[in-house]
Structure 1
Amino acid sequence: MATEKDAVIREELGSLHGMPFHKSFMEGWPQVEAFQARPDDLLIATYPKSGTTWLSEILDMIYHDGDVEKCRRDVIYNRVPFLEMKVPGMLSAPRPAGVEQLEKTPSPRLVKTHLPIHLLPTSFQDKGCKVIYMARNPKDVVISYYYFYQMAKLHPDPGTLAEFLETFLAGKAAYGSWYEHVRGWWDKRQEKWLLYLFYEDMKKDPQREVRKILQFLGREVSEGTVARILHHTSFQEMKKNPAANYETIPTSMMDHNLSPFLRKGISGDWKNHFTVAQNERFDEHYRQHMAGSDLVFQMEV
């Protein structure tokens, strides 16, 4: 007999206001849309596979003044609840929906979302919440997303890389068009409540970017604390940390044998995957869809 858990595995995506979206997430959309933010909430927003877990771990470390043990007390998806997540039976015990989880989380809360800005619950701006958005170059995003689709069985079967590349370029991957996502948030970058970061800048100079975050949050920490944060949130440390690497999620939902959740954490991996023809096609598509925007990405570091 099929179980509720089986029902969400490899299910085709639905559509939420025209955006490709997990059907199980759509069931909880009325609660997400009506979500009541608190003024001291900090929202972490990204398009999928853009350094979300990395940024979440950095912020949790900042919120706990660099105390590594406090940041290992629980898995990252409990420390930073995923707002729109609703997946029956995702863990050994049914995992509460993101909204339910957040309602039980004491302030100040860290909140994660992949929603484009036009679908963000209005209470975040009504309450004046701060938001940190991190964007990553699309060539690396599509490669990382392809491997994630393979291992995270909530997604439809991605097919071959060539097939998934077409899915991505057509804006048919979960959360829709990368272009609309990064540009939508970029258009609000002058707002005092938003800090817009780039994955590639974080790779090049993590200390500078962490300092930028601290300034945005109005926090002062010692050099020693910054050093601890940088060490604990390095890819090598996070990859071996069960509280950050998602290995606690059952293989029935995330198969780390197909691809680890934290796979490479580098910039420029697309060069190991794209053919010359695929790269040329991507470049032309990028030029067309980013025309008229002053948003610029580094395709490698």
Structure 2
Amino acid sequence: MEFPPRPTLFDFHGVSMTRYFTDNWENVQKLEARSDDIVLASYPKAGNTWVSYILDLLYCTQSSPEQQDTVPLYEKVPFLELYCPGFLNGVDGVNQMTSFPRIIKTHLPVPLLPQSIWEQSSKIIYVARNAKDSVVSYFHFDRMNKAQPEPGDWSSFLHRFMEGKMVFGSWYEHVTCWWEKKQTRSNILYLFYEDLIEDFDRELNRLCSFLELSPSAEKKKHITEKVLFKNTKHNKMVNMSTNEAFDFNISQFIREGNVGDWKNHFTVQQDEE
């Protein structure tokens, strides 16, 4: 399939977006959330896919273990606001789900989240990642993803990131608004990518406690092994290698996965800025 030209950014309710995340907006906002939904939110390239996979292993393997090797993760965890050729329509994906809880991915900032999620007090897991690694990951992602705006060179991309002129807006506003929201909402768990790397067992226990799950030691060990970076990177059900919008000759969707890769990209002056 010939992929359409790359989209352009425009201002949408004060947030930079492309039409691939706004063309189905009315239906996104009409989402009928459930109290047992699990909403996985993050700024782009913060570890959303990784935590999606952890949640999938915690829940989906109980009812349908055969799906682990046959159904791509993006079908099991629909991307709510996505409305783009070659991708699963996010709202349709959510509405078609027959297993519960429904695990729903989003990159929406707090003000744009559908109201029913707040009304139903659905469980929300937010994943935050440090700005420097986020922007490096975002740069390589935009280089290989034809459904994203043209990234330009590294220096101009970094400046746009600092100005908040990215799809889903300002990194700073995104992580800050979600941090402030969780101070008053007990249905939000705020995770840090760096903590997951530093002590996965501890963060998995936090996650299970929040979700009121008590997996066996054997199951936790199984999950820990499955979600190791090297295993996830080569898992075709997780690594997006079947997606026509992604050019893996330019970069991998799951690329480095470590903390501090920004040091390989930033100049001293960029770091100081």
Q: TM-score, normalised by structure 2?
A: 0.95
CA deviation profile, 1:62-100 (whole Å, cap 9, x unmatched): 113578644333111101000000002x1xxxx441001
Matches within 5 A, 1:4-153: 6-7=3-4, 9-64=5-60, 69-88=66-85, 90=86, 95-106=87-98, 107-153=100-146
Query: Which range moved further: 40-49 or 10-19?
Result: 10-19
- Tell me how far apart the structure 2 counterparts of residues 6 and 237 of structure 1 sit (CA, whole Å): 29
- Tell me how far apart the structure 2 counterparts of residues 73 and 188 of structure 1 sit (CA, whole Å): 37
* Alignment counterpart, residue 254 of structure 1, candidates 246, 250, 253: 246
Percent identical:
42
Aligned to 1:227: 221
- Tell me how far apart the structure 2 counterparts of residues 258 and 119 of structure 1 sit (CA, whole Å): 32
- Tell me how far apart the structure 1 counterparts of residues 218 and 66 of structure 2 sit (CA, whole Å): 16
Where does structure 2 lack aligned partners over 5 or more consecutive residues? none
CA deviation profile, 1:23-55 (whole Å, cap 9, x unmatched): 132110111111111111100000000001000
* Alignment counterpart, residue 165 of structure 1, candidates 158, 164, 170: 158
CA RMSD, Structure 1 to Structure 2 (Å): 1.5
Where does structure 1 lack aligned partners over 5 or more consecutive residues? 282-301
Q: SS at the partner of 2:80?
A: coil
- Contact kept? 2:3, 2:146, Cα under 8 Å: no
What is the one-letter code of the residue matched to 1:20? S
- Tell me how far apart the structure 2 counterparts of residues 116 and 136 of structure 1 sit (CA, whole Å): 15
Q: SS at the partner of 2:249?
A: coil
Q: TM-score, normalised by structure 1?
A: 0.87
What is the one-letter code of the residue matched to 1:13? L
Q: How many residues align?
A: 270
- Contact kept? 1:68, 1:232, Cα under 8 Å: no
